[in-house]
Structure 1
Amino acid sequence: MKNTLRILLLIATVFSVSTVKAQLLGNNERYSQYVYHVNVGVEGLYNINPGSKTYNPGFGVSAKFQYDITQNLGLTFGVGYSVLTADNSRVFGTNPDLRPDLKMVPVKLGAKAYFLPEFYLGGEVGLVYADPYIDSKSQSHLGKTLAPSIGYETNHLDVSFRYENISHHNAYVSFIALRAAYSFNL
């Protein structure tokens, strides 16, 4: 009798957990028939570089295209435009000693892995065109970027927090960013 009761309790638990999981996943439009997603967002940037390459907080805009491979994994392609303002910059300054703002145009490939229906861990790698140079010795405008992130995504809202490092040889710029985006399905 005790074994029968335990088996029935185990079966009831398994069915209730699978029903709850199906209801959680079914409520999010992202997990329905759509596999293509686009989101457009704004970003707030905060420089965390030590030493001489310090910048004031900045801003950015970006667009991401996502293709869901499985229910819990999506591949991303993103482009954007970001600006970190220099400590001594002036909009209409003529002093040649002024350091210009750092303007960046990243192109990144990445992935999002959903560990809960609406929470994800992401990672992106790519190239960044930066003006002025990241590495003044080589005077190259191109740098490599690496950007891990954590985020929360609902039907039409995607909010993420990321660390981004842009480097060229031994020179680099690092910042953290908070991104809020509007998402829609294709």
Structure 2
Amino acid sequence: MKTITKLFAGAATVIAIFTATQSDAQTMSSTTTNGMAFKIGFGVNGGVFTKGSEMDYGYGADARLQYDLSKDVALTASGGYTRLRWKNSPLNFQFIPLMGGVKAFVVDRMYLNAQAGTGLAIEDGANMNFIYSGGLGYEWNNGLELGVKYEGYVNNSASDLYFMKTGQFNLRLGYNFKL
């Protein structure tokens, strides 16, 4: 639990720094008339699992490529590192999530997003078949992004680290750069 506390304390520090140091050079407003643009973002996340899950908590980091189709819709592709902690055990389940999705801006800079993909397990004998998520968030003009989501995991029953299906409620703090 100390790791989660450190993660959220670090996230709060990042929010304070980016909020205090807005720069016109990093403003996220589009210079094109149709809103089409590429962005790359980096983020950290942490979450807690649903009641009855074999997992206790999870945390990770990611890089996300975003292509704005218009001012209201964007396509996303992301990869990173995730570590899930088993309840009452020193064991962890570590994997590299690879996901694609859609982000829809519904009110100003507030968005809904959905993603699906797979996870490449780091441990030998561990398999991850499917990851899905849905959530909402807010993207400030200075590049800062804060989101919450539910992220579900389904793995292969042949895996040595078998948990079949579980999910977590996750908080993500990120920062986007316009390309």
Q: Please report the TM-score for the alignment, with normalisation by the length of structure 2.
A: 0.72
Check the 8 A contact 1:57/1:84 in 2, yes or no: yes
Task: For 1:86 and 1:59, locate their aligned partners in 2 and report how far apart those are by CA, in whole Å.
Answer: 12
Aligned-residue offset at 1:29: 3.0
Query: In 2, are the aligned partners of 1:45 and 1:175 still within 8 Å (CA)?
Result: yes
**Letter of the aligned partner of 2:178 in structure 1?**
N
Q: Could you list the runs of 5+ residues in structure 1 that have no partner in the other structure?
A: 1-27, 91-99, 134-138
Give 5+ residue unaligned stretches, structure 2. 1-26, 158-163
Question: Does 1:40 pair with 2:45?
Answer: no
CA shift digits 1:123-152 (9 cap, x unpaired): 00101123558xxxxx65131111001010
What residue in structure 2 maps to residue 162 of structure 1? 149
**Residues 88 and 131 of structure 1: is their aligned pair in 2 closer, same or farther, counting only changes over 3 Å?**
farther
Q: CA RMSD in A?
A: 2.1
What residue in structure 2 maps to residue 175 of structure 1? Answer: 168
Trace 1:8-157 onto structure 2 (pairs within 5 A).
Answer: 29-33=28-32, 35-48=37-50, 50=52, 53-90=53-90, 100-131=91-122, 141-155=127-141, 156-157=143-144
How far apart are the structure 2 equivalents of 1:38 and 1:69?
15
TM-score with structure 1 setting the length: 0.70
Aligned position for 1:6:
none
Say whether the 8 Å CA contact 1:49–1:174 is kept in structure 2. no
Given the superposition, is the C-alpha separation of residues 87 and 140 from structure 1 closer, same or farther in structure 2, using an over 3 Å criterion? closer
How many correspondences in the alignment?
Answer: 143
Q: Which amino acid aligns with 1:109?
A: G
User: How far apart are 1:172 and its partner, in Å?
Assistant: 1.1
1:72·1:113 contact (CA, 8 Å) conserved in 2?
A: yes
Please give the alpha-carbon distance, in whole angstroms, between the structure 2 residues aligned to 1:64 and 1:109.
9
Query: How many percent identity over aligned positions?
Result: 25
Which residue of 2 is the match for residue 136 of structure 1?
none
Judge which range, 123-132 or 33-42, deviates more: 123-132
Q: Deviations over 1:66-112 (max 9, x none)?
A: 0011110000000011112222334xxxxxxxxx2111211000010
Q: Is the 8 A contact 2:135 2:149 kept in 1?
A: yes
169-178 or 143-152: bigger deviation: 169-178
How far apart, in 2, do the equivalents of 1:30 and 1:84 lie?
36
Which one-letter code corresponds to 2:44 in the other structure?
V
Cα 1:178–1:36 shift into 2, 3 Å: same
Find the aligned partners of 1:141 and 1:113 in 2 and give their Cα distance. 31
